[in-house]
Structures are given as structure tokens and as C-alpha cells.
Amino acid sequence: MVRLDNFLTTWKTIRADAAQAVEDMPAERLDYKPQDDMMSFREIAEHILYAGRGLTGLLLDGEANFHTPEFREKLKRYYEPLPKDASPAQIAAGLRAGVDDQFEQLGARDADFLAGLITRLDGMQVTRMEMLQFVKEHELTHRAQLFTYLRLNGVVPPTTRRRLARKK
């Protein structure tokens, strides 16, 4: 059984690491991408922000069907769009903003809410908790992309810096 408080604590750490990665990337490299057909560092960071905020917001508001034609429009209700030329500090602040509030709201939900069935983006029936796990894993995957892009630009990711600092 997944303990919700632990789940939210680890997710908060994932989000904080993504925000730190954005702050660590030199501003002039925010639009870096290893290949033309890939998302840029900036696009990945903004995707983490918008997907996390939107999907969590929809869940908290009781949305039960994510497999609809208007799904992407519904997500936009939860966006606070960043400027096209947002600085690393602005993007990182966006990633950190609202996390405590959303996670506090999730932590206050009862087991019945989290066990309730919804329809995921792909049409599959899952519980709200399983959907939250999907959102967290989605974010973790994109955080790993940010870390890879940092490495490709000669920057050590925050998790590695912490590990190295503990060794000293």
C-alpha cells in the first residue's frame, strides 16, 4: 500500500529538483536541445509545470474523464502562462508555486476519493491514486531529461551534487 504522505513528500522533492535544474542551467542555454526534433530544456521544464499543475488540478476538482476531445482545453484553466522569454528564475518559481497548496489539498482527501475510478487520457480506467502515480512518474521522466541536458552542457545535476556532498 502506498502511503499518501510519503508519496507527496517524494513528489515534492522531484519537483524541487526540477526547479533547481532550471536554475542551474545557464540562461543562454535554456533553449538547448540535443537534436532539432526534440523538446528544448525550456519546453521540458514548462511541460513539467503545466502538466503537473493541470492534471493535479483536474483531479482535485473531481474530473473523472480525461479521455475527451476538450481535455487539453480543460488543462489550460490551471495554467499561469510564463512569458515566452521567461528566465530560469521565473520558470523555477513557476515550478515551485502552488505545489504546497495542491499537495496539501491532495493530503486532505480521503481514501474513497483516491480510490475512485476515472478514465485516463488513453481511455484506461484507473483510480485517482493510480493517476497521481502516473503524473508523478511522468514528471520524474522529464526531470531525468532535464538532468541529461544539464550533463550535456557540463552542469552536474542537483541530486548528484547532494550525493557528492554527503561523501565529503
Dist. CA 129–CA 114, nearest whole Å:
5
**Domain limits, the chain:** 4-25+38-167
pTM of this structure: 0.93
pLDDT tens figures, 88-113: 999 999 999 988 889 999 999 999 99
Q: What is the SS3 assignment for 147?
A: helix
Fold of 4-25+38-167: Four Helix Bundle (Hemerythrin (Met), subunit A) (1.20.120)
Q: Quick one: pLDDT at residue 1?
A: 66
Residues contacting 21, CB < 8 A, separation 6+? 45, 143, 146, 147, 150, 157, 158
pLDDT cut 70: percent of the chain above it: 99
Q: Is the pLDDT of residue 2 over 80?
A: no
The bridge status of strand 117-119 relative to strand 125-127 is antiparallel
Closest CA to 53 of 158, 121, 168, 139: 139
Whether 128 and 59 have beta carbons less than 8 Å apart is answered as: yes
Q: Quick one: pLDDT at residue 149?
A: 98
Dist. CA 73–CA 55, nearest whole Å:
12
pLDDT tens figures, 61-73: 999 999 999 999 9
Dist. CA 95–CA 86, nearest whole Å:
12
